Structure 1
């Protein structure tokens, strides 16, 4: 079992959307490094922090669990989809997705500012300058530190 952080823009797909749907495919990842993690490393049963980005209140908003391991992102084959890629085909898929299931919303949003102030997250890719990956690994200790912060909010 591993831990991950998946970024999403809540105007497009939020933790509340996932709660309503119960489970959903995590499609539309169009970065090769993030794709490789989804395809090769994210496994059934892994835990996921859902992180809202590109909005007024950025931060960890909820928790999900991977319920289906990587499979081809079929939206890449659909010319009507925003995620269409003419170089991807069912015989030679370029993009992959996983399915996740809603576990719970966090008790409060754990903001990026709070996470940047946590020494135990100093090595986390999310808090480093210039990191724009939509899928990133989280260590078990980082996961626990974030959940501890959820229970003990700071002044940040």
Structure 2
């Protein structure tokens, strides 16, 4: 499998994850994760394992995330070997039209189990744009090289 095919395979996992989210299907959502996956939300809640991810999302999809969708843009894909990939995205959940600015940054660590890619770890961080701008203004050397 060439690198384009590998990238397509791992980004398809995030696309499918979004489809399960849009359906409000907690079991299908959690099926994208390894049995022992770690999942950290933007508020710092740590979930451990597929069952914990499914149960928490079952409650979320029945409550304040009901009827929402996920939107993301891919920032980076890196393969750390033939069976490990790290995806970095910018994204958010929303109702209605997708937001123009995506305020969260996510890191997905995927592992290949047989022919299937699964998420072993997920980290979601809300960007603090004002703090970021202030930091870059007063310490410009902290600005990421891609943004200089």
Normalising by structure 2, what TM-score?
0.32
> Higher helix proportion, which one?
2
